[in-house]
Amino acid sequence: SKTTIIFLLFGIVSLLVSQYYLSYDSGAAFYLIESRAWELLIGSLLAYGFFPKCKSRVLLESMSVGGVALVLACAHFYSRSLSFPGFLALLPCLGSALIIAAGQQRDTFGARLLSFKPVVFTGLISYSLYMWHWPLRVLYGEQFSTIFSKGEKIALVFATYSLAVLSWAIIERP
């Protein structure tokens, strides 16, 4: 349909804008909506059932496991030395889309992984995690050092998680 073509073109242009911004302003590429709209478009297409249904359990499991593998590979191999988002954001976005698309149709490995209670709870407090992580990192870095040891990283994750749970319980949940 014409609408589908328009959305796909819009997504491609947004992705190209993201890659272009990386060449002169990585902050713009990361924060401006026109360079990240394509990511939201993928989620919107999933929500509206754009992707075709599949009856093959093997294919759905392959999509799910492949999606988990893509997301984990990005988490492991992506570093500050890489230009992100741009084209590199395609891999975690496509991985996430594969997990969700397969899980919408059948109970898959990815769906079971995401329904694991600690993962669900982390999702519940994710906004608070997002809100606390950067201030703690910056304040700690200004006070002590911007180069963190493993122990300091673990302590900061624990502090962030603890404050997120409190914020969620006291502010978000009520």
The helix/strand/coil state of 57 is: helix
Name the average pLDDT for the chain. 93
Whether pLDDT at 1 is above 90: no
In this structure, is the dihedral angle defined by the CA atoms of residues 91, 93, 99 and 102, taken in order, positive or negative?
negative
For the stretch 99-138, pLDDT in tens is 999 999 989 999 999 999 999 999 999 999 999 999 999 9
**Cβ-proximal residues to 97 (8 Å cutoff; 6+ apart), any chain:** 42, 43, 46, 51, 67
Question: What is the predicted pLDDT for the residue at 144?
Answer: 86
Q: How far is CA 166 from the centre of its chain?
A: 23
Tens-digit pLDDT profile for residues 49-75: 888 888 899 999 999 999 999 999 999
Residue 110: per-residue pLDDT: 94
Residue 151 has pLDDT above 80, yes or no: yes
pLDDT (0 to 100) of residue 133: 93
Determine the distance from the C-alpha atom of residue 173 to the mean position of all C-alpha atoms in its chain, rounded to a whole number.
23
Number of H helices, E strands in the chain: 9, 0
Q: What percent of the chain has pLDDT over 90?
A: 78
Give percent above pLDDT 70 in the chain.
100
Specify the pLDDT at position 18: 96
